[in-house]
Structure 1
Amino acid sequence: MTEKKNNYILLTVFISGMTTLGVELSAIRLIAPFFGTSDIIWANLIGLVLIYLSIGYFVGGRWADTDPRHSTFYQIIAWGAFLTGLIPFVAMPILRWSVEGFATFNAGILIGSFVAVLILFSIPMTLLGMASPFAIRLAVTNVGGTGKIAGSIYALSTLGSILGTFLPGLILIPNIGTRYTFLFFSIVLLIVAIGGLLSQSKSYGVIYLCLMVILIILAIYFPNRPIKINERAVYETESRYNYIQVIKANDEYLLYLNEGTGIHSIYRPHAILAYGIWDYFLIVPFFNDPPHTTEHVNSLLVIGSAAGTISKQYTAVYGKIPIDGVEIDPEISRVGYDWFAMNEPNVTTINEDGRFYLANIDRKYDVISVDAYRPPYIPFQLTSQEFFQEIYDHLNDDGIVAINAGRSAHDYSLVIALGSTMKSVFPNVYVLDAPSFESDLGNSLVIASKQPTKLLNVVNNAALVENPHLHDVFNRVINFSRVWEITCQANHPFVPGFGGDLLDVLPSACIPPFTDDKAPIEQVVHGLIFRYILNQ
């Protein structure tokens, strides 16, 4: 009988370990549509979960010594499972409250709603943390076998955690969504706990069946609503990487990801130009020495192609040239096919990491555009000196690379970091501040040429262009944008070009280039965001 009880305890520990890690990884997906998935979000979540588990280990061990009964153990597990299932129902109103904070950049609302959600995990994770020490106390009947039993319990708990690590992202969330993923882990663990209670007392087991009934009722009578309520939303989904939302504004389709602070693609069925940062990628080849015409542009690589805005524009302006679009999230590409008419026959979509793609091809391009930076989560491997050397090696002799970088009106820290690193590889680096560069938030293109070039090349080449779409973009660049150069020279690290004076807040020198070994991009981006919020 004792061996049978111990086997069931081991099963409970395994499922509890699976639930603990499954809930932790599902938690980031619960939060991502509202706060993103930056390193600082991950750090807060992981750190607090570890604190809750530590409290559970501490309290669970002492509780087990005070009341070493199987029924107590299974009741603790049952309540931990039940409260886990309640998390998405209670959290969503708080998370939707955070949308107001993003709309007004109210730091109090943002911090308050984030902390409130994290506190929701405190009790269930603490209760789940009690499982292992309590299980050891119940399973040990002979001091001589304590080590063996403790080792078995921690091994099974870890094996369960491994399963809980893979289930949410690879299977559950893409197929049933975040809410039902929480319910899955909750109900599976609750079934195990109720089974243990029934073996001790049928009356206990029947009573705790009520918890299961409550969760089922919640799932039936409070079905999935849109994750982020927006009356203009026409589609939303969750992928392995992102929360994805498509908004229809008049005749335009807009792609939003995660917390939705920026538009990642735009589709205008009856127009070519988007009148956003994407348009300026069209004119970057003309930073080459004149005469440089559209006939010189015969290939394009887009890293971070999203739903295909840049590819669609290049096809319309330069013809059906070969275009490779690299997008790590295949679900975003599918949304591009379904909602953004990403169906150009000359465009090949590759769903993998941009750095990995570059490392495994030998093809060269006339233009490489990088639109994969989505603050606050910018992949460090796409900001390093080694990455830009890979780009340099995959450009034709007159090749150009352009990178979309976010900034505020008075904080160019990200632009400077990227430009300084690119200057360590390329002979010339320019910055094109999109029109309305004095507004609170904006974008800049950081542009680098493989051959030595001059800043005014773009003005001289503009006179040779006949395409009306390029004329439109050139007009905005020359008359309404600010273009300047990053030289990283000791006396003049930044040189003005045209469209406006340099910012007084620019540093006195370039910063050391980022490398694969040291690329503190998180510090740069988080500092930019916090400074902006605090100044509002």
Structure 2
Amino acid sequence: MKKSNLILYITSFLSGMTVMAVELSCSRLLAPYFSSSQIVWTVIIGLIMICMSIGNVLGGRSADKHKSLGRLYFYIWLASVWIALIPFVGKYLISGIAGLLVLVMPGSDIVVMGSALSCLVIFSLPMTLLGMVSPYLVKLGVEDTENKGRVAGQIYAMGTIGSIIGTFVPTFFTIPYIGTSKTFLLFALLLNIVCALYFLFSRKNALRNTITAVLILVFLLIPINDSLAFWKTNIIYEGESLYNYLQVSETDDSVILSTNVAFGVQSIYKKDGSLSGYYYEYALMAPYFIKDMSPEKKLDVLVLGLGTGTFPKQLKKYVPNVTTDAVEIDAKIADLASKY
């Protein structure tokens, strides 16, 4: 690995890592509005692959025509700025697209159309620009070497290694601990830094990149309003866990948990202990399907999916002589149940 090509390998690594990180963060950004179903994942993966393919073609043509690292790093800088803007404008664009579809195409499949249009509007430009990186790097990296195959292989390997890391880091670290919005900012900052380093050493446009890198870093470090249900006024908690987007809201008579949706209800607790009238409570009839059921009969119940614990509470209240054990994979939900 030549030192002269080091910046190219670092660029390939960071661009590959950012592509996967943005793709995974895209799913979490769209989930509250359109769900995180297989349909939405298919739309995200398919459209991003289309954008990357277009970027590969455009990048190859541009590399042959211009043969300029400066142009490549301008494209990367532009992608980083766009990604950094997503936490601030993405939710408004998504809700606007969803509302427009309801008005203009009320009979359409909002999940498919909404997720596709949102993905195109928000992510097509940065993904296309990042798709231009690999052909550019290969063109400029192999131009003055006899080992063209080796250098091209190393460039693609670095991009793939970056993609692997970009797959795990958001899911297991950044999204659960700093949230989706800060994840976008973090990876935008990494891209911006590599651009700033290039322009600094080449003594071209270093000030522009330094300013944007500092701005992104500031927004990464300070609290920002990253509420995805920004139109609601009764939210008392909004955050993310390893598994879910979580939202707790409160009305005069209820406390409500929503997971991965901005509009639905996954659990509701009535402050007076009464039933909510939602379909979840049909499960309270289950014990009465047991043969020889009677008020004196002792029951052991295992609940898979504790949620906020409303069902075990109702079961204890309405079914006599019951002992309940419950299991919940998302510890954050159990913590919210205790707190609220």
Q: What CA distance in whole angstroms lies between the structure 2 residues aligned with 1:274 and 1:297? A: 26
Contact 2:186/2:220, CA 8 A, preserved across alignment: no
Contact 1:34/1:98, CA 8 A, preserved across alignment: no
Q: How does 1:172-321 map to 2 (within 5 A)?
A: 172-200=174-202, 202-213=203-214, 215=216, 223-229=224-230, 230-289=232-291, 291-318=292-319, 321=322
Contact 1:94/1:116, CA 8 A, preserved across alignment: no
Q: What CA distance in whole angstroms lies between the structure 1 residues aligned with 2:218 and 2:12? A: 27
Q: Which runs of 5+ in 2 are unaligned?
A: none
- Give the secondary structure class of the aligned counterpart of 1:294: coil
Q: What CA distance in whole angstroms lies between the structure 2 residues aligned with 1:99 and 1:297? A: 50
Q: What CA distance in whole angstroms lies between the structure 1 residues aligned with 2:101 and 2:204? A: 49
Out of 104, 122, 125, the position equivalent to 1:123 is 125
Taking structure 1 as reference, are residues 260 and 76 closer, same or farther at Cα in structure 2, changes over 3 Å only? closer
**Structure 1, 105-114 or 132-141: larger mean CA deviation:** 105-114
Residue of structure 2 in register with 1:337 after alignment = 338
Q: How does 1:19-58 map to 2 (within 5 A)?
A: 19-58=18-57
Taking structure 1 as reference, are residues 283 and 113 closer, same or farther at Cα in structure 2, changes over 3 Å only? closer
Q: TM-score scaled by structure 2?
A: 0.89
Q: How does 1:398-409 map to 2 (within 5 A)?
A: none
Greater C-alpha radius of gyration: 1
Shift, 1:219, TM fit? 6.2
Contact 2:259/2:266, CA 8 A, preserved across alignment: yes
- Give the secondary structure class of the aligned counterpart of 2:275: coil
Contact 1:233/1:248, CA 8 A, preserved across alignment: yes
Q: Which has the higher strand share?
A: 1
* Cα deviation code 1:311-347 (max 9, x no counterpart): 11122234574322222322112211211xxxxxxxx
Q: What CA distance in whole angstroms lies between the structure 2 residues aligned with 1:179 and 1:214? A: 15
- Give the secondary structure class of the aligned counterpart of 1:270: coil
Matched, 1:82 2:84: no
- Give the secondary structure class of the aligned counterpart of 1:273: coil
Q: TM-score scaled by structure 1?
A: 0.58
Q: How does 1:83-162 map to 2 (within 5 A)?
A: 83-97=82-96, 100=99, 106=106, 110=110, 113-119=114-120, 120-142=122-144, 144-162=146-164
Q: CA RMSD in A?
A: 2.6
Shift, 1:141, TM fit? 3.7
Q: What CA distance in whole angstroms lies between the structure 2 residues aligned with 1:102 and 1:279? A: 33
Q: What CA distance in whole angstroms lies between the structure 2 residues aligned with 1:102 and 1:272? A: 38
Q: Which runs of 5+ in 1 are unaligned?
A: 340-536
Q: What CA distance in whole angstroms lies between the structure 1 residues aligned with 2:302 and 2:38? A: 28
Q: Which has the higher helix share?
A: 2
Q: How does 1:308-387 map to 2 (within 5 A)?
A: 308-318=309-319, 321-339=322-340
Contact 2:296/2:320, CA 8 A, preserved across alignment: no
- Give the secondary structure class of the aligned counterpart of 1:236: strand
Q: How many residues align?
A: 336
Greater relative CO (CA pairs within 8 A, separation 6+):
2
Q: What CA distance in whole angstroms lies between the structure 1 residues aligned with 2:289 and 2:223? A: 56
Contact 1:300/1:323, CA 8 A, preserved across alignment: yes
* Cα deviation code 1:291-322 (max 9, x no counterpart): 42133242111122211111111222345743
Q: What CA distance in whole angstroms lies between the structure 2 residues aligned with 1:33 and 1:10? A: 36
- Give the secondary structure class of the aligned counterpart of 1:59: helix
Aligned AA for 1:276?
Y
Q: What CA distance in whole angstroms lies between the structure 1 residues aligned with 2:264 and 2:32? A: 12
Q: What CA distance in whole angstroms lies between the structure 2 residues aligned with 1:123 and 1:337? A: 43
Percent identical? 35
